[in-house]
Structure 1
Amino acid sequence: MNAKDELMTVAASRLLRDDRVVFAGIGLPLVASTLAKRHRAPNLTIILEGGIIGTTPHPGMLPSSTNELRAAAGAAMFTGITDIFLLAQRGFFDYGFLGVAQIDPYGNINTSVIGEPTRPTVRLPGSGGANDIISLCNETLVVTTHEPRRFVERVDFVTSPGYLTGGAARVEAGLVYGGPSHVVTDLALLDFEPTSKRMRVRALQPDVTLDEVRTATGFDLLVHDELAQLPAPSATELAMLRELTGESADREPATQVSTVSR
């Protein structure tokens, strides 16, 4: 895991509260969820799309798929994918956790195609359960590297609906609750202005300036009136994270590496 990933993972893990349920995707979402559970939220329940409830992955043995047996380490229950989404539909999941290829000012996500949908230049993995997660979970967290090609004025395809065109558009479309609450990047923590539902900068990562965030974004960002600075990952958080990923605990800390996307 590189320095940018460490910054994002630690920052994302801090958003997860104890005694909650998170529907985590494989990759950084699962690592962040597992770090939160080990460090500060011991009663956090981690759900995986493959039907696994209450997983506690072993350090150094994180799964690369929800269908791996090791994804079920320490699980309280095995069920089916249909049951998982039924539980989401009934409102039992506090958090969904997604990655993106593109995201726009209102939190609409593309993980389907880059370019014209009928003749794309790049085909991406598609929705999987992402559309359901952002549509059904009580709130959705997004984690992604911060760069202009990802933060775009208009996504090439709406795989997972955020706040659509802003304001009340999401509710008027029938998605009466949920939606993206925070976007965690290697440069900043972003949220959404409550009325317009437009993305805004809530806090900056260590040693990052607001100008750097704006330069790495392909649209105009709002800025919170009380713009904050995120604390650097602690030695404990980094040690736990590197133990989880099976990496050396004595690498240079993430804050000593530039966090500016190129």
Structure 2
Amino acid sequence: MMTVAASRALSDRATCFVGIGKPSTAANLARATHAPDLVLVYESGTIGAAPDRLPLSIGDGVLADTATSVVSVPEIFNYWLQPGRIDVGFLGAAQLDRFANINTTVIGPYDDPEVRLPGAGGAPEIAASCGEVVVVVSQSRRTFVEQVDFVTSVGFGRGPGDRERYGLRGRGPTQVITDLGVLRPDPQTCELVLTAVHPGVEVEQARRATGWSLRVADDVTVTEPPTSRELEVLRSLEATAAPS
């Protein structure tokens, strides 16, 4: 349900900067269903990639083989991403706070961490410069924390006005899509608000899975279940995800 909901966040003909994992699955599901002209851009420099299976990494050869164009990594960032030419960025998170700031660097103190995570990669630039950002992450108190241990990628900083003060071009996170529902930032406070739950999920479940006092919209909706076509394509994609 999380992957399907994330794929529906992408519109046809948009340009999407894609990360590996759930964001890549969702983007490829969108391209194979309702958004055939979705332009997939990967950090390795592939523009217009159209893989027939899920890539194993940003360096998977299937991306270059199927891309409209392959450019250098500096060009992807300096010419396409940072000037604001990418409509939407898909990101994951190890930790996320109420203002949608993302941590993928360390758990615990930076100088003496409990866990050292994969790091930033291109995520800070994606969060800063894409027209909007969609975060795809499973929801639990371990992930949804009061304050992230390290700000790898800025969502809304400490609240209204911080993105502007930091000189960040994009609008920031417009949706956080989890395995329980969908959160969106409040237009005035920038704090994440639960606006939808997936079928079979109760609002209280989302509250229990959040490490802060979760705000809930007055009119929480229920996301539409996956269609048979979406399930068929998703299962086909996942069947090709691992090498034979």
Q: Fold-level match, TM-score > 0.5? A: yes
Asked whether the equivalents of residues 21 and 47 of structure 1 are also in contact (C-alpha less than 8 Å), the reply is yes
Amino acid at match of 2:33: H
Q: Deviations over 1:22-64 (max 9, x none)?
A: 0000111111111101100111100000000001111xx3211
Name which of 168, 176, 183 aligns with 2:161: 168
From 162, 165, 183, the counterpart of 1:190: 183
Give the Å deviation of 1:161: 0.5
In 2, the alpha carbon distance for the partners of 1:47 and 1:211 equals 37
Q: Does 1:65 align with 2:77?
A: no
Matching residue of 1:241: 234
Does 101-110 or 61-70 show the bigger shift? 61-70
Match of 1:221 in 2: 214
Identify unmatched segments of 5+ residues in structure 2.
none
Aligned equivalent of 2:69 = 77
* Contact preservation (8 Å) 1:103, 1:151: yes
Distance 1:26 1:227 in 2: 30
- Could you tell me which residue of structure 2 aligns to residue 260 of structure 1? none
Instruction: State yes or no: 1:206 paired with 2:179.
Output: no
In 2, Cα distance between the equivalents of 1:35 and 1:158? 30
| Residues 17 and 42, structure 2, Cα contact 8 Å, conserved in 1 | yes
Cα distance per residue 1:204-250 (max 9 Å; x no partner):
01100000000000011222232110011111111011111217xxx
Flag the 1:28–1:73 CA change in 2: closer, same or farther, 3 A. farther
Does the 8 Å CA contact 1:56/1:72 hold for their aligned counterparts?
no
Relative to the length of structure 1, the TM-score reads 0.89
Asked if 1:39 corresponds to 2:41, the answer is: no
Alpha-carbon shift at residue 177 of structure 1 (Å): 3.0
Counterpart of 2:140?
147
Please say if residues 171 and 177 of structure 1, whose CA atoms lie closer than 8 Å, have aligned partners that are also in contact: no
Matching residue of 1:28:
22
Equivalenced residue count is 239
SS state at 2:196 partner: strand
| Alignment CA distance shift 1:176-1:48 (3 Å) | closer
For the residue of structure 1 that corresponds to 2:189, the secondary structure is coil
Asked if 2 retains the 8 angstrom alpha-carbon contact of 1:65 and 1:71, the reply is no
- Separation (CA, whole Å) in 2 of partners of 1:119 and 1:160: 20
Residue identity matched to 1:121: E
Q: Is the 8 A contact 2:84 2:169 kept in 1?
A: no
Runs of 5+ unmatched residues, structure 1: 1-6, 248-262
